[in-house]
Amino acid sequence: MNKARIAVLVSGGGTNLQALIDAEKSGIINSGEITLVISNKEDAYALRRAEKAGIKTAVVRKKDFDGASAFEDRLIETLENNCTDLIILAGFMCILSEKFTSHFEKRIINVHPSLIPSFCGEGFYGLKVHEAALAKGVKVTGATVHFVNEIPDGGEIIAQKAVEILDGDTPEILQKRVMEQAEWIILPLAAEKVSKEITEKR
């Protein structure tokens, strides 16, 4: 089968990347294969996870370029050289411009740790999302996988999963539960769904 070639963009520890690697091994992701992991930080632990799994890696650092446009040009070039079909943002801490997102229209997906449209958009990332949910007193949160466009967290929703907020939750405890009960489940499922759609269009 001609699988969709997946590139995963990371900045940190790579727990979502690990969930994707495990899902590919177990056959949850069957229509796509992870062929490249790109990080904007050379010391990201996610790169070690990729190397351990035998996946090609690349580092593209924003500070090595004269402005965001040149940085994105290098990213595009690296992705094109890999013949990338699908890009998954897995904790990639860079906002991408319309130039980049329109170049890969309907081919970039992201996981966000809330039920969009709650607690999303510019400034809502990492623990800040869970801090905001707890401060608001909501009883249910979760995760959302969506297509990426030029508006932060603004693209079409692919999948969502709810997670209960419990008494005594801290942002850190809630973050872990949202990852385990939602992000690590729906991100691989969405990756498979979009990969399948890409291969069927060929």
Please write the tens of the pLDDT for every residue from 117-173.
999 999 999 999 999 999 999 999 999 999 999 999 999 999 999 999 999 999 999
State the DSSP H helix or E strand holding residue 58, giving kind and residue range, or none if neither: strand 56-59
Is the CB of residue 178 less than 8 Å from the CB of residue 162?
no
Q: Let me know if 112 is a catalytic residue.
A: yes
Domain that holds residue 76: 4-200
Cβ neighbors of 80 (< 8 A, separation 6 or more) are: none
Q: How confident is the model at residue 1 (pLDDT cuts 50, 70, 90)?
A: confident
Is the CB of residue 99 less than 8 Å from the CB of residue 19?
no
Question: What is the per-residue pLDDT for 87?
Answer: 98
Q: What is the pTM of this model?
A: 0.96
Question: CA–CA separation, 76 vs 84, rounded Å?
Answer: 10
Is the CB of residue 155 less than 8 Å from the CB of residue 145?
no
Question: CA–CA separation, 152 vs 170, rounded Å?
Answer: 25
CATH number at residue 146: 3.40.50.170
Q: Domain count for the chain, please give it.
A: 1
CB atoms within 10 A of CB 173: 14
For residue 100, how many C-alpha atoms fall within 13 Å in the half-sphere facing its CB? Answer: 22
| Mean pLDDT along residues 72-77 | 98
Q: One of 103, 112, 130, 146 is an active-site residue; which one?
A: 112
